Amino acid sequence: MTISGLSNEREEMTAVAGFNTSLLHSCEAGDKQTGATLPPIYQSSAFYQPSAQQHEKLFHNQAPGYSYTRIANPTVTAFEERMTKLEGGVASVACASGMAALTNALLNILQAGDEIVSSASLYGGSIDLFRDLEAFDIHTIYVKNNDWQQIEESITEKTRVIFAETIGNPRLDITDIKRLAELAHAHGLPLIMDNTVATAYLVKPLELGADIVINSTSKYINGHSDAISGVITDGGSFSWDTEKYPGMKEFKKFGKFAYTAKLRNGLFRNTGACMAPQTAYYNLLGMETLGLRMQRECENAYKLAEYLDSIEGIEVNYPGLPESPWHKLAKEQLKHGYGAILTIRVGSKERAFSIIDSLEIPMIVSNIGDTKSLVIHPESTLNVHSTRQEKQDAGVYDDLIRISVGIEDIEDLIADFKQAIRGAKCS
């Protein structure tokens, strides 16, 4: 496990710096040997060792270094360190995709017979994963987000983790992270948060009490839809009860790194869902402009939501609008904006398809967080495997359009939606 070694001066400077300054300067950047401002891409599957003894030490975690990229790679390490600083954790593990990150994060502490208590308003792929886990006798109890009585009543002696998204996708409900963390800890349970939609630009769940944070870095972290990846960031503050979590017993000696040590020495290493060095490099490039992109995208989303909200027959869902049921919590918990995603209900599936097909700027893409605006019809795509109840809980309807707002000029986006809605077929 590689731990970032920053100077005291750098730590002190970034502790008081703004988001973008801290993002750019919180980690040692580039290559000291050559003066390169970015770390090189170590496109190598394996690394030679000077002696058999050194090789043995590596495999016994008695010396730092690299042996095989499935386990660790210098370019990937540079990205992990940047993500750790971004989320305010103690260590990160980079994975091949957001779904790989979610799978590893959960299975690192779960075993047959365990239960997950999860917010019902989830990304469709996460719901599909939880259904797959049932084959391993790991079951999920779904609850309404921020329904404290229902959450309390759903926790049993089998519960081992509480899971939620900071901003539900596509319901766009806001999780009260601080209160949920307090509830989880009162029951001796860790809180795992998916921070993909909000990113650390809007909220840092670890600062509000969460224990593990997941990001699908294919989205806003990367920002350009050129690489699939995910990352797990460990807050290092949860006290693992070895009776509840027997697999943690031999890793308690690692202290605040116990969760990450277990993950790196077991599931992550053995399932092989590692991040490619080239992907880590793309992510390092993309995340340097995370703050600038999110600022513009959040501003654009707010203005587009306001405009669409003025159109008769269009029902807009966006946490930034005062009439949103999550506006008050969003205003209290989120920094710098309300997110870059909004959804609209337009009356029928036929009209939704017509509007989507008539738009000229947004692309029909099953992704979020790109510099370009993206649209999708979740009911027929992302949530195609969900039951009717699961769709309803996730805020997915047949007339719903999800809009991931990009950095285009807002006047052009508004004009494009205006012509698409005006010319759309009605059911």
For residue 6, pLDDT over 60 is answered with no
Measured in whole angstroms, the distance separating CA 28 from the mean position of its chain's CA atoms is 24
Beta-strand ranges (E) seen in 126-262 are 139-143, 159-165, 191-194, 212-215, 230-234
Yes or no: say if 372 and 364 are a contact pair by the CB < 8 Å rule: no
For residue 234, pLDDT over 80 is answered with yes
Q: Give the tokens for residue 324.
A: 């949103």
Beta-strand ranges (E) seen in 262-387 are 315-317, 341-345, 363-364, 374-376
374 pairs with which residues across the strands? 363, 404
Separation CA 130–CA 51 (nearest Å) = 45
Q: Could you identify the residue written with the tokens 């039951």?
A: 387
For residue 371, pLDDT over 70 is answered with yes
Separation CA 369–CA 405 (nearest Å) = 8
For residue 427, pLDDT over 80 is answered with no
pLDDT, residue 425, reads 67
C-beta atoms surrounding 108 within 10 Å:
23
Yes or no: say if 262 and 251 are a contact pair by the CB < 8 Å rule: yes
Mean pLDDT of 22-48: 89
Question: Of 24-28, 123-127, 289-293, which one has max mean pLDDT?
Answer: 289-293
Mind listing the pLDDT tens digit for each residue in 104-118?
Answer: 999 999 999 999 999
User: What three-state secondary structure class fits 238?
Assistant: coil
Separation CA 168–CA 382 (nearest Å) = 14
Separation CA 21–CA 317 (nearest Å) = 33
pLDDT, residue 2, reads 43
| Nearest Cα to Cα of residue 26 among 42, 43, 11, 4 | 11
Give the amino acid at 148.
W
Separation CA 22–CA 29 (nearest Å) = 12
Lowest average pLDDT, out of 55-64, 322-331, 364-373, goes to 55-64
Mean pLDDT of 366-377: 97
pLDDT, residue 9, reads 58
Separation CA 122–CA 193 (nearest Å) = 11
Element (H, E) at 93: strand 91-95
Yes or no: say if 221 and 280 are a contact pair by the CB < 8 Å rule: no
For residue 345, pLDDT over 60 is answered with yes
For residue 241, pLDDT over 70 is answered with yes
Separation CA 303–CA 414 (nearest Å) = 9
Q: Give the tokens for residue 317.
A: 């869902």
Element (H, E) at 253: none
Yes or no: say if 4 and 83 are a contact pair by the CB < 8 Å rule: no
pLDDT, residue 17, reads 84
Mind listing the pLDDT tens digit for each residue in 145-202?
Answer: 999 999 999 999 999 999 999 999 999 999 999 999 999 999 999 999 999 999 999 9
232 pairs with which residues across the strands? 93, 214
Mind listing the pLDDT tens digit for each residue in 55-70?
Answer: 999 888 888 899 999 9
pLDDT, residue 12, reads 59
Separation CA 1–CA 80 (nearest Å) = 11
Query: What percentage of the chain carries pLDDT values higher than 90?
Result: 87
For 355-374, give the DSSP string.
HHHH-SSSEE-S----SS-E
Separation CA 24–CA 46 (nearest Å) = 29
Whether the upstream peptide bond of residue 322 has omega within 30° of 0, thus cis, is no
| Nearest Cα to Cα of residue 371 among 222, 173, 259, 214 | 222
pLDDT averaged over the chain? 94
pLDDT, residue 96, reads 98
pLDDT, residue 61, reads 82
Yes or no: say if 59 and 167 are a contact pair by the CB < 8 Å rule: no
Separation CA 1–CA 99 (nearest Å) = 22
DSSP secondary structure letter of residue 202:
H
pLDDT, residue 423, reads 87
Beta strand pairing call for 91-95 and 139-143: unpaired
pLDDT, residue 14, reads 57
